[in-house]
Amino acid sequence: MLKGSLVAIVTPMHEDGSLDLDALKNLIDFHVEAGTDGIVIVGTTGVSPTVDVEEHCLLIKTAVEHSAKRVPVIAGTGANSTREAIELTMHAKALGADACLLVTPYYNKPTQEGLYQHFASVAQAVDIPQILYNVPGRTGCDLQNDTVIRLSQLKNIVGIKDATGGIERGTDLLLRVSKDFAVYSGDDATSLSLLLLGGHGVISVTANVAPKLMHEMCLQAAAGNVVAAREINAKLFGLHQKLFVEANPIPVKWALQQMGVIKTGIRLPLVNLSAQYHAVLKAAMQHAGVIESA
């Protein structure tokens, strides 16, 4: 079971919108050095909806090869088509990913039975550890806890990224699933609360720009050092908020560009961060200590 701070890593791009694989490799090195516990490639923060299948597989391949087992790689392979999700998951397994992250099938508005059949079909088709991903605020599709419990009985469905931000829902899951089923927070602002309730880690946007602090917060929470974990979270809380002033990953890519880690490339329909948010995000970065104060 993977635990701790798993970064939902950005997909670096050149100014023309083409993939910047060298920058991705540098980012992976940055996270290995910082102690990040896992790399989640081509997820929401990795702008999976704007890359084609060939690019999607290339990003997974690059992450797996460059990480070279220094850190686990979890490949985003979800889709709103069950057939496509199976194909992407097969590719990820063949490329050597350690696990896959499968978002709920967006736009279709399936029933809970349809969601169960979707994830069960992928699990039965591909023998690789699979993590469910529920983010109804983006997908318009909510995977209910009762369905998660059913799915947790399948041997290679090993966890869930719960990005609802609902502590009550997270608590209910933790009380009902087996101890070997991982519950990860997918909401940075409430991640510490879920960790202290027994959550196994966080799949984090904030970890892109503050990987050492996110890793340390997870360590302190797991060790029961509540005061220390709260102190770290206080440094990070501005980032937890301001990295979402516009749709993710617009703010986090801008923040990384300010740190000199990546270029400003981004693909339509996403555009660069609006000027009105530059000052507030920079202030949050300074408070967290990821850039120097003016």
Quote the CA–CA distance of 255 and 279 in Å, as a whole number. 11
Q: Which of 61, 93, 116, 161 is catalytic?
A: 161
Phi and psi, residue 158, nearest 5°: -110, -5
Omega cis (within 30) before 49: no
Q: How many CA atoms lie within 13 A of 92 on its CB side?
A: 33
Residue whose C-alpha is closest to residue 186's, from 134, 250, 148 = 134
239 membership: H or E segment, kind and range:
helix 226-242
Q: Where are the alpha helices (DSSP H) in 96-164?
A: 112-125, 136-139, 145-151
Q: Which of 133, 184, 242, 253 is catalytic?
A: 133
Residue 161 known to be catalytic:
yes
Quote the CA–CA distance of 261 and 24 in Å, as a whole number. 10
The catalytic site residues sit at 133, 161
